Amino acid sequence: MTFQDQIKQGIPSVLPQPKLYEKEINHAPKRKDILSIEEKKLALRNALRYFEPQHHEELIKEFASELEKYGRIYMYRFRPDYDIYARPINEYPGKSDQAKAIMLMIQNNLDHAVAQHPHELITYGGNGAVFQNWAQYLLTMQYLSEMTDEQTLTMYSGHPMGLFPSHKEAPRVVVTNGMVIPNYSKPDDWERMNALGVSQYGQMTAGSYMYIGPQGIVHGTTITVLNAFRKIKRSPKGGLFVTSGLGGMSGAQPKAGNIAGCITVCAEVNRKITHIRHSQGWVDEVIEDLNELVSRVNLAKANEEIISIAYLGNIVDVWEKFDQENVHVDLGSDQTSLHNPWAGGYYPIGFTFEQSNDLMANNPTKFKEEVQKTLRFHADAINKHTEKGTYFFDYGNAFLLEASRAGAKIMDENNIDFKYNSYVQDIMGPMCFDYGFGPFRWVCASGKLEDLVKTDLIACQVLQELVKTAPEEIQQQMQDNIQWIKGAQENKLVVGSQARILYADAEGRAKIAEAFNQAIAIGEIGIIILGRDHHDVSGTDSPYRETSNIYDGSKFTADMAIQNVIGDSFRGATWVSIHNGGGVGWGEVINGGFGMVLDGSQEASKRLKSMLFWDVNNGISRRSWARNDGAIFAIKRAMETQPLLKATLPNVVAEALFNF
């Protein structure tokens, strides 16, 4: 069968042969045994409903074995024989270019070069899933191959509920992930519902089909590191940035440090992923000995090198060793997956990677105790460095939140707030999000490098034109992104699809998108797929990250994210998504994203102008109402450019009036 025939087939009527478990692949850890005997029977019933009854007798034992071995039913037997990667859009079967674009993005998320655990359909973050099992993948791709522009596919936590009659201006796909009743949003609730096959953790761009590999976060991390050095009034040259995590999105940290121009040390316990990042060129050197690491860092400091070093081991050991040896750390953070602390997101000291995985699966209570003990050591070591002048910021991975729950000494003197701010509070919020600057990304559906080169040039030209008349308040943001896009190709950031990201405001996003659409119309480039990270101005309500610089008491509300996805859906998005969880944990955040296909048509031009303006200014209006100065400036400027916009502005109360 051809690739197209296999896509159109969906779930095969004749059972394929069982697949070998490929040990060389980076697999998800075994999930804990959380289901009762009756619930395990229910999980099997749920899994078998994808298959005709004559296959149930053969499959039930196999699926029961998977549930026992891995804690989940992945249906490995049904993993396709073809390679999964982002093919040129014209290689996908179908009746709708929009649907073909979505197939391209789904396959990009599951590309072995992109996905963290590809055989478990997990893109990044340890549990950020595109689908729960391979039957869902096969059925979804079949539906997309049959879809017309008069239908919409609804996706319930990886499960394709079906194609429904719709219309051309509606989204082709609507995705929800993990949208459970609030009182059932604890980590164990996810474990149970995911094991049952009824809900999943979509992270952010994983379950939204919009992940573009580590490049997606390289840019945001670069901007963060540059502005962190500006905050401490120090040049990155010869400066030391210490962090951890090389899996999935956090693999971007060493590359971002190189682009920013500093020395980066990033610890990682997983040998396989460490060497993958090294082979991909995302990290320059790998060191396993702490004494060797100290010597290498001191040499790099003396020579003011720009270098990234992966330490194969636990980050806590690095912090403690650098304290003992008086190695000064300028910037410190952590980007392990602490939204997922009990299922592979963070590993305790005193155990090998393999021992930890065994403990996690077979003695989860002990594993949790060891993780929390390690978090206390971790925080103590960081505190010693900050007393020496290190600037530490929480990277929105729930490090401070989980450390506080573990009893670590990371609260302020009033024991109310954390003693360290998140990077959104200190850097990205006031410097970028409040002004409307956030991640704008695009994928060249042709798969051609020459299209990416042309789009880079178009985007750069648009930004260079905009900066000429940009107000002083956003000049730095504009210049940083012009510099980024100029150097994007030489930094070899593409993994998977031919994609790019930069930070832009609503005006910049719309003008770049319109320039792309015009270039498509005259045949200069092929179809472009627009999207963004959920980590943006408007798409995410996350009190410890994206909305941590909201101080009017509304940071625990999620109206903005819900309004965002609803508004995007009727203003022209090709697909929309809304998730519970993402980045900081299940039950801790609501976040949404979109995809938009540009095909050179007048209809696409109309849609992009309407949707992109809303997608940004929804968030700016909320931030303005919270009395954020930058957002008040930005929403007033937006109202000047768009007469149909009339946002409610806050009246600020004089502090002197509270003296009574």
Specify binding-site residues for NAD(+).
125-126, 203, 268, 395, 583
User: Which residue ranges make up the annotated binding site?
Assistant: 125-126, 203, 268, 395, 583
End-to-end Cα, the chain, rounded Å: 80
Task: Identify the CA nearest to 48 among candidates 67, 71, 69.
Answer: 67
Q: Are 593 and 482 in contact (CB under 8 A)?
A: no
Q: For residues 516 and 505, what is the distance between their CA atoms, to the nearest angstrom? A: 16
Which residues are registered as beta bridge partners of 310? Answer: 266, 286
DSSP letter string over 457-497?
HHHHHHHHHHHTT--GGGHHHHHHHHHHHHHTTTTT---SS
CB-based contacts of 290: which residues, under 8 Å, 6+ apart? Answer: 311, 313, 317, 318, 321
Query: What is d(CA 645, CA 618) in angstroms, rounded to the nearest whole number?
Result: 11
Question: Residue 163 pairs with which residues in a beta bridge?
Answer: 153
Structure tokens at 612: 């992109």
Residue 440 CA to residue 416 CA, distance in Å, equals 35
Look at residues 605, 620, 651 and name the one whose alpha carbon lies nearest to residue 547.
Answer: 620
Short-list 97, 84, 209, 199, CA closest to 145: 97
- Beta-carbon count within 10 A of 419 CB: 16
Instruction: Return the sign of the alpha-carbon dihedral for residues 319, 324, 326, 327.
Output: negative
Long-range contacts of 549-558 (CB under 8 A, 24+ apart): 549/424, 549/425, 549/429, 549/430, 549/433, 549/434, 549/628, 550/622, 550/623, 550/626, 550/628, 551/626, 551/627, 552/625, 552/626, 552/627, 554/622, 554/626, 558/590
Burial 283-299 (b: 16+ CB within 10 A, else e): bbebbeebeebbebbee
Q: In whole angstroms, give the CA distance from residue 432 to residue 219.
A: 13
Question: What count of Cα atoms within 13 Å lies in the side-chain half-sphere of residue 185?
Answer: 18
Contact status, residue 244 vs residue 277, Cβ threshold 8 Å: no
Residue given tokens 């990667």 in the structure block: 85
